[in-house]
Structure 1
């Protein structure tokens, strides 16, 4: 924790010497969809046509000078048949640009792996990537975050509380997440990442009986018109830190997209996961996504998307199909 205190001190010292030439920006981003869901072998009030406000981001950024800045992003969602969420602070950090592509962030900031892979998969306004979509990890957390990007190798390390951004809290220890990407050739990356900690599940009198661990790997290729990639994830005891019962989960994700015209692209994605390898090893979940998107203007992107989720185990077989219109609004 001493390193965290030193980083805090450095940040406040830097802010005390900022330039008078400051700049402030306010922007927002909305993910809205209207879709029809049809389900088999299950009863749900989510069927039929409904609107979803999947995300409403309000972003405030302030540039103190060419090295120091601050970012605050609020996050709200309103899903079908649910009340709107509380206002979350998805981002709330100060950052310092360091020489040679280095960056130091202090506060609730993006975690290394999801921030990296989301940029490779794309189409976040339709669905998040494999790891966050299946609760293998969270996108941001409170802590100290360091990033170093270069032409040959990029890497990042975060020392965090493990409590996530929705209900930030501090446990009895810190967690660590890291990733590294080898830039093999223009557009081609081989990347690995990992996480280890207690995720604040050992807070107060809760016993620490297991350690939450995650391993990620990806090979991906991205150029101006094309994205291709595959991702693997394996978790141990992600929600069983204070439990005598151990469990694990794993999954594969693959994606491809092609921008055949300046404003039009087609995309497809397939994920398969084992959500409970030890407690329910027969449980499998498959996700398929196919779509076409149109960048109407700098402020609006539309996509026609079809999705299918199939879940099976020894005790059930379920299927969910969804078709509709997804949109991303930028202001």
Structure 2
């Protein structure tokens, strides 16, 4: 069934070829983006149905953008994924917001919109169709959430803050208090950024009758360079009680991510990334995870990007040591 679904996606892609976007009206646009990979996954000293060559539908976005004027616009993005040996997800609304552009520096959004730090980090790291950045990859953040969002940008400094539910876009729900995420970026030059971010709230874990013992907090800092096809950067993340708001025990985690990429030729780039995470500093202090990726991507057409990628992840603790290797082709389709 899954291979049949993958074939249907390719058929749809073929039918849409040559139609990067459809203008429904002068101020309305429909578009889509698909992340599909076909890869060989191997897990040392372990047998699983997910091993071997199999396809994954990482993301299937359908976008609707509508503008009433230069100041007011509506954005809706549906999101579906189908990972190997799993059922397809429900249809999520990754974006569903109204935006008001007060002037060239200030913008407000109401609804399910991008969160300040995750949106910023994803744009600096790049290669989202291969894997998300450090925080969402390790379940330390959601990319979008329901709430009120504000952003300020100028040449030297950017700032964004979101007052949100904390439930994330996949299972939107309202808790007993408002969560806050913010990010501040100093644009040291046209290529170098120094950025920091903060999150605080209960992430709806105290909803209804659930007790509240702790407040979830996350702090991020990143230094990055991005200019003329070259990206280099490093990010650090630390959090307290991210999953322990309604549990007696306290816990914390931290991690680092280092990335680099370079456009060798107009249509070809090489990229590399390494993550190291300490997922449970207090409850399982010996547990460590690391992740490595290297690849070459090719902008085959205006609609298709193809990457040849190798990945390795490793989990190490007193009771487990496991290595996972994956190699294959990752693609991004834009219609």
TM over 0.5: yes
The CA deviation string for residues 169-213 of structure 1, in whole angstroms up to 9 with x for no partner, is 001100000000001112100000010001011111111110000
Match of 1:308 in 2: 312
Indicate the SS of the match to 1:115: helix
Q: Residue 207 in 1 paired to residue 211 in 2?
A: yes
In the TM superposition, what are the counterparts of 1:50-89 in structure 2 within 5 Å? Answer: 50-89=54-93
Distance in 1, Cα, partners of 2:199 & 2:31: 32
- Output the aligned Cα RMSD: 0.9
**CA displacement at 1:22 relative to structure 2:** 6.0
Match of 2:236 in 1: 232
Distance in 2, Cα, partners of 1:135 & 1:245: 19
Match of 1:6 in 2: none
**CA displacement at 1:92 relative to structure 2:** 0.2
After TM superposition, the score normalised by the length of structure 2 is 0.92
Indicate the SS of the match to 1:232: strand
Aligned length: 311
Q: Residue 258 in 1 paired to residue 291 in 2?
A: no
Indicate the SS of the match to 1:297: coil
After TM superposition, the score normalised by the length of structure 1 is 0.93
**CA displacement at 1:260 relative to structure 2:** 1.1
Contact 1:285 1:311 in 2 (8 A): yes
Match of 1:38 in 2: 42
Match of 1:184 in 2: 188
Distance in 2, Cα, partners of 1:310 & 1:134: 13
**CA displacement at 1:42 relative to structure 2:** 2.8
Indicate the SS of the match to 1:118: helix
Q: Residue 106 in 1 paired to residue 107 in 2?
A: no
**CA displacement at 1:284 relative to structure 2:** 0.4
In the TM superposition, what are the counterparts of 1:162-181 in structure 2 within 5 Å? Answer: 162-181=166-185
Contact 1:53 1:77 in 2 (8 A): yes
**CA displacement at 1:312 relative to structure 2:** 0.4
Runs (5+) with no aligned partner, structure 1? 1-20
Match of 2:9 in 1: none
Distance in 2, Cα, partners of 1:297 & 1:241: 47
Match of 1:158 in 2: 162
Contact 1:240 1:247 in 2 (8 A): yes
The CA deviation string for residues 266-299 of structure 1, in whole angstroms up to 9 with x for no partner, is 0000000011111101000010000000001110
Runs (5+) with no aligned partner, structure 2? 1-24
Runs of 4+ in 1 over 3 A off after TM superposition: none
Match of 1:131 in 2: 135
**CA displacement at 1:71 relative to structure 2:** 0.3
